[in-house]
Amino acid sequence: MNQFGYLYSQYYDLLYSDKDYKSEVEYVDGLIKSNTNKAKTLLDMGCGTGRHAELFCDKGYVVHGVDLSEDMLKVAETRRSGKEDKLSFSHSHISDLALNEKFDAVVSLFHVMSYQNSNEELIKAFEVANNHLNDNGVFIFDFWYGPAVLTDLPTTRVKRLENEHIKVTRLAEPILYATKNIVDVKYDVFIEDKVSKEVVEKKELHKMRYFFDTELQMVCEKVGFEVANKLEWMSDKNPDFKSWNVVWLAKKF
């Protein structure tokens, strides 16, 4: 099973039920409005099950979400009820995306850029974002921040959650490859059906790249972005050695 397979889509929202999607959308909306009051359309690159996209739509944006996982998109499609003319989704790898449409804002959240492990993948993702933006449009993305990752090294973690149907236990074991700026996060996931008591074990591997300012600045300049802001995620603070999650706002020039 790859990290975005069928079963993952079924318990994804449970695993991240403690994630405050509403506050995150409020935060990103504030970043957009701090740079332009004219943004009406938004592209969500790597939309997953569509929760962010749905909430952006509720904020008044016309939103299109794109994801690699067809199973996650099945969940996302259920969010379109009553919003069919303002919320849509399609299946694509973000590096292959060519919608023949431009947007006022492009967002890529929940570390989607950190899944772009090679320089080629990263540059292509930025080019795709740029190609889908109107002039002076904004690109907002978050990522694992290298100075913090190397200061506060990743450790083994266990997460346990349940709802009325299933119990989930997830063990995350990281391996850091300093010469590649990559962390392999190996997941063992145990899912128990609360009725039958059957337990299913699944293994996943997430290869996460952490970034430094100079390399991202170079990529932005290469593809036609001017970096307007660098912040610790969900904060107005400048990133520091404790900022594992950082967000940048780049403007198309």
* pLDDT number for residue 7: 53
What is the value of pTM for the model shown? 0.92
Task: Please compute the mean of the pLDDT values over residues 219-231 and round it to a whole number.
Answer: 98
Task: Please compute the mean of the pLDDT values over residues 185-200 and round it to a whole number.
Answer: 89
Task: Please compute the mean of the pLDDT values over residues 24-53 and round it to a whole number.
Answer: 96
Kindly state the helix (H) or strand (E) to which residue 153 belongs, with its residue range. Answer: none
Residues 238 and 148: beta-carbon distance below 8 Å: no
CATH architecture label of 6-144+211-252 = 3-Layer(aba) Sandwich (3.40)
Instruction: Write out pLDDT tens, residues 133-164.
Output: 999 999 999 999 999 999 999 999 999 988 88
Instruction: Write out pLDDT tens, residues 56-89.
Output: 999 999 999 999 999 889 989 999 999 999 999 9
* pLDDT number for residue 245: 98
**Given the DSSP bridges, would you call strands 133-145 and 199-211 parallel, antiparallel or unpaired?**
parallel
CATH architecture label of 148-209 = Single Sheet (2.20)
Q: Torsion-angle region of residue 162: left (phi > 0), alpha (psi -120 to 50) or beta?
A: beta
Beta bridge partners of 225: 252
Residues of the chain with CATH 2.20.130.10: 148-209
User: What does the block give as tokens for 41?
Assistant: 């359309």
Task: Please compute the mean of the pLDDT values over residues 218-237 and round it to a whole number.
Answer: 98
Statement: residue 41 has pLDDT above 90: yes
Statement: residue 217 has pLDDT above 80: yes
Residues of the chain with CATH 3.40.50.150: 6-144+211-252
